[in-house]
Chains A and B, each alone.
Chain A
């Protein structure tokens, strides 16, 4: 479903702040694969996701989604194929607009925005049902401004928005990192539910190695802009945090990096 071919990205070219974020990274995701992504700070996890989403152009390489070459497509056009949830709960929703308005915007992702009314009566039933499935009591607050919701509620809503129109690819960029542990667990549970129900091809960045092991059916680890660990299937199921650290130090060839990963 997703094919990343040898992409590279350097920020602040030819300055003292030059940072090579991606070094010829390649990755192929099969239909329905749920991949967790780990790696230390500056390993290139977010850069990889943002490159796929089209937040910035890549310096080299190609990106294909469902066979379509999207390398040169602007961010808003790629959005037709991609659902996204960000780390910052503020980023995924429009705070001054109502819950139903946010969902209506998401339902029209990839469509031309016409002069038809922004929300149809028929949709409201669908929204109520979807919101009820979150179990947060949001189904009775359709017109509540999203700015009044808690971080967890906003992330759950963003998750709904990202998946309300089944995307070819779901990108989750540490979407539970800003939440308290209990809320984070709840949002992760909802994530699992939706991804499994709709069999979504998913890339999920997480800082939590346990989460990376428990969730998804494939795990990759990034180090200095490249994929250094890639395990799937039975092998992934047998993973432990210790095993993961060992794999990592072997791949990166350094012990000191191990601490960096644990600490981050």
Chain B
């Protein structure tokens, strides 16, 4: 068994492209997890919904722009379902997400007609594809077709739009809703409406990301969203940990999350290069995210007794 660094290096562009696509998904997760303060599990289902809608529409002959738009809208509908479960039905956030996710399994199968729908890049005009990446690297396709460039542009536009949106009166009221429900209601903010809107926006982005990934890999699969929430959280946490000191501005923080997703995929690529059994990847992801989520808690419980000890020493 030998490890060839060149092999890892050749995988990097693919990891970056995939990371950027998942970065859009992670930005969606950020909206619920950090801004709304809700852990939304809908994403495991809505990610696939986006891929399914996009592929099926492309196969039916619609152009790629319209297909992605519909993927986004379909994602918003899934967010609407979870939002109504939470607000209108009073179901707890976690459970509401699980219910939608479970229901979406059937919905996604119905959209695709079967568990896996392939789309051949030779027969359809796709926006991003692994094939394009290889062709750009070989020089047989102009550079601006590089999925890294295209998805990078997507990320920039989305970050710009979100920066604007969360600076508006409505966007500010959504941030207030996530920070302090009591305060938001006392200031006349319709917190239920805002939660639903935030969930719709988040899942719209998640589905858009699913639509892009389905094109990139050339298929939509019923399992493509499994564990998506963990990858999203990993990207959010990595982005925050790595860029916390440098990126203070909201738009930069969003960019940091997209870069966090890239880092995640590069690490995964490196782990695979080290010949780890791919079957263990999900276990690894779960453990990494668990550790990162635990660190703030450990920090708190470790520093508290230390501070007390210090106080006694002073006295």
As a 0/1 sequence over residues 19 to 58 of chain B, the CB contacts with chain A under 8 angstroms (1 = contact) are 0000000000000000000000000000000000000000
Q: Could you tell me if B188 and A76 are in contact, using CB atoms closer than 8 angstroms?
A: yes
Q: Does B171 belong to the interface (CB within 8 Å)? A: yes
- Asked if A118 contacts B169 (CB within 8 A), the reply is yes
Instruction: Identify B186's interface contact among A84, A96, A116, CB under 8 A.
Output: A84
> Does A214 make an interface contact (CB < 8 A)?
no
Mask, A167-192, CB within 8 Å of B = 1, is 00000000000000000000000000
- Contact of B179 with A109 in the complex, beta carbons under 8 Å: no
Looking at the complex, which one of B168, B183, B187, B188 makes contact with A118 (CB distance below 8 Å)?
A: B168
Contact, CB under 8 Å: B176 / A76: no
Interface positions of A from 73 to 124, Cβ below 8 Å from B: 75-77, 79-80, 82, 84, 86, 90-97, 101, 104-106, 108-111, 113-119
Name the contact of B184 in the complex, choosing from A53, A94, A96, A111 (C-beta under 8 A): A94
Q: Indicate if the CB atoms of B187 and A97 lie closer than 8 Å.
A: no
Asked if B171 contacts A118 (CB within 8 A), the reply is: yes
Contact of A91 with B188 at beta-carbon distance under 8 Å, contacts A114-B169, A115-B168, A118-B167 already known: no
Give the docked Cα–Cα distance between A111 and B170 (Å): 11
- What CA separation (Å) do A162 and B188 show in the bound complex? 11
Q: Does B191 contact A (CB under 8 A)?
A: yes
A161 CB-CB contact with B under 8 Å: yes
Of A91, A104, A111, the residue contacting B180 (CB under 8 A) is: A91
User: 7 additional contacts, CB 8 Å, given A76-B189, A116-B169, A162-B186?
Assistant: A75-B186, A76-B190, A77-B188, A104-B172, A108-B188, A113-B170, A115-B170
**20 A-B interface contacts by CB (under 8 A):** A77-B188, A79-B188, A80-B188, A92-B183, A92-B186, A93-B180, A94-B175, A94-B179, A94-B184, A97-B175, A97-B179, A105-B173, A105-B187, A108-B173, A111-B188, A113-B172, A115-B168, A117-B167, A118-B172, A161-B187
For A95, the chain B residues whose CB sits under 8 A away are 179-180
Cβ contacts under 8 Å, A118 to chain B: 167-169, 171-172
Closest 5 CB pairs of A and B: A79-B188, A118-B172, A94-B179, A109-B188, A113-B169
B185 contacts which chain A residues (CB < 8 A)? 75-76, 79
A80 to B165, CA, bound (A): 24
Enumerate chain A residues within 8 angstroms of B169, measured Cβ to Cβ.
Answer: 104, 108, 113-118
Closest to A104 in B: B172
Given contacts A76-B188, A109-B187, is CB(A91)–CB(B179) below 8 Å? no
> In the bound complex, what is the Cα–Cα distance between A53 and B6 (angstroms)?
67
For residue B182, CB closer than 8 A to chain A, the reply is yes
**Chain B residues whose C-beta falls within 8 Å of the C-beta of A119 in the assembled complex:** 172
Tally of B interface residues using CB under 8 Å = 22
Chain B interface main SS type:
helix
Distance, CA A80 to CA B187, complexed state (A):
8
Closest to A80 in B: B188
Task: Please pick, from B176, B182, B190, the residue contacting A105 in the complex, using a CB distance under 8 A.
Answer: B176
Q: How many Å lie between the Cα of A106 and that of B184 in the bound state?
A: 9
Within 8 Å by CB of A91, from B170, B183, B191, lies B183
Q: Is the CB of A105 within 8 A of B189?
A: yes
Residues of B within 8 A of A79 (CB): 185-189
Contact with B along A115-144 (1 / 0, CB 8 A): 111110000000000000000000000000
B37 to chain A, nearest CB (A): 10
Query: Which chain A residue has the least Cβ–Cβ distance from B171?
Result: A118
Residues 269-297 (chain B) with a chain A CB within 8 angstroms = none
Q: Which residues of A contact B179 (CB under 8 A)?
A: 94-97
Q: How far is the CA of A119 from the CA of B172 in the complex (A)?
A: 9
Q: Which residues of A contact B173 (CB under 8 A)?
A: 105, 108, 113
Chain A neighbourhood of B176, CB < 8 A = 94, 97, 105
Please provide the chain B residues from 224 to 280 with a CB less than 8 Å away from any CB of chain A in the complex: none
| Cβ distance B62 to chain A, nearest Cβ, rounded Å | 29
**Set of chain B residues within 8 Å of A116, measured between Cβ atoms:** 168-169
For B170, what are the chain A residues with a Cβ–Cβ distance below 8 Å?
113-115
Chain B residues positioned under 8 Å from A93 (CB to CB): 180, 183
**Chain A residues, CB < 8 A from B187:** 79, 105-106, 108-109, 161
Residues of A with C-beta under 8 A to B183: 91-94
Q: In whole angstroms, how far apart are the Cα atoms of A117 and B165 in the complex?
A: 9
Cβ contact within 8 Å between A76 and B191: yes
Chain B neighbourhood of A94, CB < 8 A: 175-176, 179-180, 183-184
Complex CA distance for A82 and B186, rounded to whole angstroms: 8
Complex: A91 Cα to B186 Cα, angstroms: 10
Chain B residue numbers with a CB within 8 Å of A113 are: 168-170, 172-173, 189
Min distance, Cβ B187 to any Cβ of chain A, angstroms: 5
B186 touches A110 (CB 8 A): no
Complex Cα–Cα for A242 and B215 (A): 80
B residues 133-189 in Cβ contact with A at 8 Å:
165, 167-173, 175-176, 179-180, 182-189
Residue of B with least CB distance to A161: B187
